[in-house]
């Protein structure tokens, strides 16, 4: 069916064609393969749980924040519910006998957790590991970190210096494809009352801070009871009765990762819009690669036409010739796929940085995926070989000899494909620049506080040691001031829903010391009151309190809060959220601060930061705390935008490369087709410049058409994306014009060189060959 010797000889004679075809297709397939791994990995989240179709997370419009008793109340009233588990994450300082203290990322759960979710235990019985509130289950890696290879069942762990727990189980580390965040230890939810020293918290719903999951019986439908439960909540549950919540939903486990709802469970998530966008990009890259491969193959049809004509004269039929070219295409595609597999494996760490996640390539190496891979290879290899095979085999040998073949090949087919490639390349380039500008805008937006030269430290010292630590820190050269606080612009403080008059309002609460305003450079306008709270200007406007408000009542009306000062607005969440209401109260002497904020001078911030860390380590006896520069942490708020710029940027490079290769191949082909026409024009007095303009315009008009098509589509889609941000840039006309002009210049450069050579040829030689 295929003459291997002739096939290899053709490749050797056309080395550039072979390299561009195979490598271009391989590079595009590399991105498609890696994107496929990422997309499949994201779609696998929480699909391994045996009960995945019966598990629901209870959410309202804000997320999953419920009182401690809601789960038991629902189970007692609705027979559809088999069991429930609360879920709450906190980090605790853990003491191991004869070892240093270590910070453990802990989840507080109910004993039914391991019955609901399919997280395998290495040691221990799922039904009994958390029967007692003083039991704890450790993950394999954490157990190995603190105990090595010892058998740790029955060992003792002390949390926060006083809560003694017994290790009753060891589980596998949480897998990558779960919405639960990194967790190292699981303890019984009932321990929370002891840790918080709030014995009644397990008997009431006053503190609504806990995630709630339900497991329903097979064949039941708890979702159909949603409206009934909502009506019940509106009469019995304060969140709904007082107007803080108005919606209720049962979120299937398969939707939790994609739902975008928050909780105090350190859950992970992704956007389906992002995944759909990446899927579309992967499809476009694949289409561009196929078009490019097709264009390059068509560019070779003239050279292969005489070969086909000779074979026909020797008696080989069209069907045999047709399949010869298809099989040749399959061989080249196989080369490309093999190279793409190697590239994707080698470049996996690079792509992991782009996606900001681990990519588990080995999970794709299954028999099922192997069959899909083989079928895809046959399909795409055959698809891109069909057009050139059909073009060559449909002509008679005499047409090739007379040159009719070349004449009839002058069509807009290839140019339309080039136009499509340029539409995609132009749209992706504009999108990349716009996302880059939006990310820059978010990073450099004035947040209302001084984020430069401020260092944060997780506080692990007792309230009684604050003054001693402050004295130690203030001795360090370069330290300007220091503040202890519960809540900062990095974490948003505590949320407190409060009823003011007839209105239910959501506030962020910050408990601060006297240095807080100075450390962050916040301007405060005193009201004349010598005690009370500080509120931000957004709260003043929202409550219509006037210029210098003096008091307003809190939720329960138990006391009057005097307003001590008005704080200029500062953002305490990323700029995906609008400015909210905030108030600040003095941090009590016995209250435990979460963060230490240290203001330093600009002389040598790196050295000062290291001295602060060293001093803190000496003071507390370990280095198990988080710390860093505030401005760097704020920059991390916009990692999503950075990731989008990275991903779309690289895909844009691939799209542009394919578009350039496509126009280069098709210009080579069509200029060769028009050599006789060029020669006739030259003989009839046409100047080289005139011929050059004609040839360049023949391709440039398709690029201009592509720009005209891409602009309205891109403008509409980017406007919709920008509208998701309360604070965003306006679309920049110069970006569109710059991309359009650049696309035209690239097209002129790609076509111009070949056009000039063709226009400069001696017409006598051209016409003699014809």
The reported pLDDT for the residue numbered 640 is: 72
CA distance 338 to 51: 39
Q: What percent of the chain has pLDDT over 90?
A: 26
Strands (E), 608-679: 627-629
552-590 residue pLDDT tens:
655 444 356 788 889 999 998 888 888 988 989 998 888
| Alpha helix stretches (DSSP H) within 445-567 | 466-474, 516-520, 537-543
Q: C-alpha distances in angstroms, 101 versus 187, 200, 249? A: 18, 30, 41
Q: Which helix (H) or strand (E) holds 662?
A: helix 639-673
The reported pLDDT for the residue numbered 221 is: 92
Total count of residues recorded for the chain: 770
88-113 residue pLDDT tens:
888 787 877 666 677 788 999 999 99
CA distance 241 to 233: 7
**694 or 391: which carries more pLDDT confidence?**
694
Owner of token pair 């490309």: 336
Pairing of β 81-95 and β 102-109: antiparallel
Q: How confident is the model at residue 58 (pLDDT cuts 50, 70, 90)?
A: very high
CB atoms within 10 A of CB 501: 9
SS3 content of the chain, % helix, strand, coil (to 5): 55, 15, 30
What is the average pLDDT across 468-484? 92
Q: Which token pair is 702?
A: 């398709």
Task: Report the first-to-last Cα separation within the chain, whole angstroms.
Answer: 32
Q: How confident is the model at residue 470 (pLDDT cuts 50, 70, 90)?
A: very high
CB atoms within 10 A of CB 100: 10
- Contact (Cβ atoms closer than 8 angstroms) between residue 105 and residue 125: no
User: Considering only CA atoms, which of 88, 80, 42 is closest in space to residue 64?
Assistant: 88
**What are the DSSP calls for 207-224, one per residue?**
S--BEEEEEEPTT--GGG
**122-126, 317-321, 651-655, 743-747, range with the lowest pLDDT:** 317-321
The reported pLDDT for the residue numbered 361 is: 72
**What are the DSSP calls for 272-290, one per residue?**
HHHHHHHHHHHHHHHHHHH
CA distance 690 to 767: 19
**76-85, 232-241, 324-333, range with the lowest pLDDT:** 324-333
What is the average pLDDT across 594-610? 90
Q: What is the DSSP letter of 131?
A: S
- Contact (Cβ atoms closer than 8 angstroms) between residue 438 and residue 729: yes
CA distance 721 to 151: 53
Q: Which helix (H) or strand (E) holds 681?
A: helix 675-683
**How buried is residue 7: exposed, middle or buried, by Cβ count under 10 Å (0-12/13-18/19+)?**
middle
The reported pLDDT for the residue numbered 557 is: 46
- Contact (Cβ atoms closer than 8 angstroms) between residue 422 and residue 699: no
The reported pLDDT for the residue numbered 213 is: 95
Is the per-residue pLDDT at 704 higher than 60? yes
Is the per-residue pLDDT at 677 higher than 70? yes
CA distance 453 to 355: 30
CA distance 563 to 583: 9
CA distance 110 to 554: 34
514-551 residue pLDDT tens:
999 999 999 998 887 778 889 999 988 888 777 666 66
Q: C-alpha distances in angstroms, 52 versus 250, 270, 278? A: 13, 18, 26
| Alpha helix stretches (DSSP H) within 521-638 | 537-543, 605-620, 630-635
CA distance 151 to 579: 52
Owner of token pair 């009306």: 557
Q: How confident is the model at residue 279 (pLDDT cuts 50, 70, 90)?
A: confident
Q: What is the 3-state secondary structure (H, E, C) of 413-430?
A: HHHHHHHHHHHHHHHHHH
Q: Write the CB contacts of 139 (distance below 8 Å, at least 6 apart in sequence).
A: 170, 171, 172, 173, 174, 183, 184, 185
Q: In degrees, to the nearest 5, what angle opens at C-alpha 98 toward C-alphas 97 and 100?
A: 95
713-737 residue pLDDT tens:
999 999 998 998 889 999 999 999 9
- Contact (Cβ atoms closer than 8 angstroms) between residue 172 and residue 203: no
CA distance 747 to 421: 12
What is the average pLDDT across 605-630? 85
CA distance 45 to 358: 13
Q: What is the DSSP letter of 247?
A: -
- Contact (Cβ atoms closer than 8 angstroms) between residue 109 and residue 130: yes
**What are the DSSP calls for 555-580, one per residue?**
TT-SSEEEEEEEEPP---S-TTS---
Is the per-residue pLDDT at 187 higher than 50? yes
Q: Which helix (H) or strand (E) holds 90?
A: strand 81-95
- Contact (Cβ atoms closer than 8 angstroms) between residue 740 and residue 426: yes
Q: Which pTM value belongs to this model? A: 0.72
Query: What is the dihedral angle through the alpha carbons of 124, 127, 132, 136, rounded to the nearest 10 degrees?
Result: 40
Is the per-residue pLDDT at 759 higher than 70? yes
The reported pLDDT for the residue numbered 388 is: 73
The reported pLDDT for the residue numbered 659 is: 77
332-389 residue pLDDT tens:
888 888 898 888 888 888 888 877 778 877 766 667 677 877 787 777 777 777 777 7
Q: C-alpha distances in angstroms, 461 versus 106, 189, 436, 614? A: 20, 25, 41, 15
Q: What is the mean pLDDT of the chain?
A: 82
Pairing of β 503-512 and β 524-526: unpaired
């Amino acid at each position: 069916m295929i003459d291997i010797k002739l096939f290899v000889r053709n490749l050797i004679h056309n080395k550039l064609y072979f390299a561009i075809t195979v490598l271009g297709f391989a590079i595009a397939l590399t991105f498609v393969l890696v994107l496929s791994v990422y997309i499949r990995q994201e779609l696998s989240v929480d699909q391994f749980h045996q009960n995945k179709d019966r598990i629901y997370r209870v959410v309202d419009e804000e997320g999953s924040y419920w009182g401690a008793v809601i789960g038991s109340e629902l189970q007692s009233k609705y027979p559809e519910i088999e069991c429930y588990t609360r879920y709450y994450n906190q980090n605790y300082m853990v003491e191991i006998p004869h070892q240093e203290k270590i910070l453990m990322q802990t989840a507080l759960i109910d004993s039914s957790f391991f019955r609901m979710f399919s997280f395998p235990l290495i040691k221990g019985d799922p039904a009994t590991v958390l029967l007692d509130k003083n039991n704890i289950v450790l993950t394999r890696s954490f157990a190995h970190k603190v105990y090595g290879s010892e058998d740790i069942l029955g060992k003792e762990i002390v949390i926060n210096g006083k809560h003694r727990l017994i290790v009753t189980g060891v589980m596998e580390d949480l897998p990558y494809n779960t919405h639960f965040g990194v967790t190292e230890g699981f303890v019984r939810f009932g321990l929370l009352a002891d840790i918080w020293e709030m014995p009644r918290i397990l008997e009431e719903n006053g503190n609504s801070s806990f995630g709630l999951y339900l497991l329903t019986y097979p064949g039941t439908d708890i979702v159909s009871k949603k409206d009934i439960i909502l009506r019940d909540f509106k009469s019995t549950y304060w969140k709904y009765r007082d107007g803080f919540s108005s919606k209720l939903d049962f979120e299937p486990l398969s939707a939790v990762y994609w739902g975008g709802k928050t909780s105090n469970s350190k859950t992970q998530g992704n956007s389906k819009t992002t995944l759909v966008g990446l899927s579309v990009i992967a499809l476009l890259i694949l289409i561009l690669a196929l078009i490019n491969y097709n264009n390059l193959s068509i560019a070779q049809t003239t050279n292969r036409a005489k070969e086909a004509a000779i074979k026909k004269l020797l008696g080989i039929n069209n069907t045999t010739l047709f399949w010869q070219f298809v099989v040749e295409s399959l061989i080249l595609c196989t080369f490309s796929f093999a190279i793409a597999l190697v590239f994707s494996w080698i470049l996996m760490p690079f792509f992991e940085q782009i996606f900001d996640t681990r990519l588990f390539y080995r999970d794709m190496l299954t028999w099922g995926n192997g069959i899909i891979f083989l079928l895809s290879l046959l399909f795409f290899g055959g698809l891109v070989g069909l057009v050139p095979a059909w073009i060559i085999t449909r002509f008679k040998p005499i047409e090739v000899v007379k040159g009719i073949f070349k004449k009839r090949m002058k069509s807009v087919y290839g140019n339309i494909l080039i136009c499509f490639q340029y539409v995609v390349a132009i749209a992706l380039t504009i999108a990349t620049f716009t996302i880059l500008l939006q990310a820059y805008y978010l990073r450099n937006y004035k947040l209302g506080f001084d984020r430069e030269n401020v260092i944060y430290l997780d506080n692990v010292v007792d309230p009684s040691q604050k003054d001693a630590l402050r004295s130690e820190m203030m001795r360090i050269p370069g330290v300007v001031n220091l503040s202890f606080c519960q809540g900062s612009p990095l974490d948003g403080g505590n949320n407190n829903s409060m009823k003011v008059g007839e209105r239910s309002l959501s506030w962020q609460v910050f408990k601060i010391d006297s240095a807080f305003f100075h450390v962050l450079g916040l301007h405060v306008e005193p009201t004349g009151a010598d005690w009370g709270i500080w509120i931000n200007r957004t709260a003043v406007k929202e409550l219509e309190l006037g210029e210098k408000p003096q008091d307003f009542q809190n939720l329960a009306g138990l006391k009057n809060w005097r307003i001590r000062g008005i704080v200029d607005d500062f953002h305490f969440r990323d700029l995906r959220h609008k400015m909210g209401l905030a108030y600040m109260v003095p941090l009590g002497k016995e209250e435990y601060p979460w963060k230490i904020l240290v203001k330093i001078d600009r002389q040598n911030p790196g050295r000062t930061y290291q001295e602060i860390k060293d001093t803190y380590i000496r003071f507390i006896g370990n280095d198990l705390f988080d710390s860093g520069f505030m401005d760097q942490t704020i920059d991390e708020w916009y990692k999503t935008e950075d990731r989008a710029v990275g991903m779309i940027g690289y895909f844009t490079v691939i799209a542009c490369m394919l578009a350039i290769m496509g126009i280069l191949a098709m210009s080579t082909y069509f200029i060769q087709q028009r050599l006789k026409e060029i020669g006739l024009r030259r003989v009839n007095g046409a100047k080289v410049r005139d011929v050059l303009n004609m040839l360049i315009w023949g391709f440039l008009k398709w690029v201009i058409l592509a720009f005209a098509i891409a602009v309205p589509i891109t403008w509409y889609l980017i406007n919709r994306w920008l509208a998701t941000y309360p604070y965003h840039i306006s679309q920049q006309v110069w970006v569109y014009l710059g991309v359009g002009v650049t696309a035209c210049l690239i097209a002129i450069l790609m076509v111009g060189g070949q056009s000039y050579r063709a226009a400069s040829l001696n017409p006598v030689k051209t016409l003699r060959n014809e």
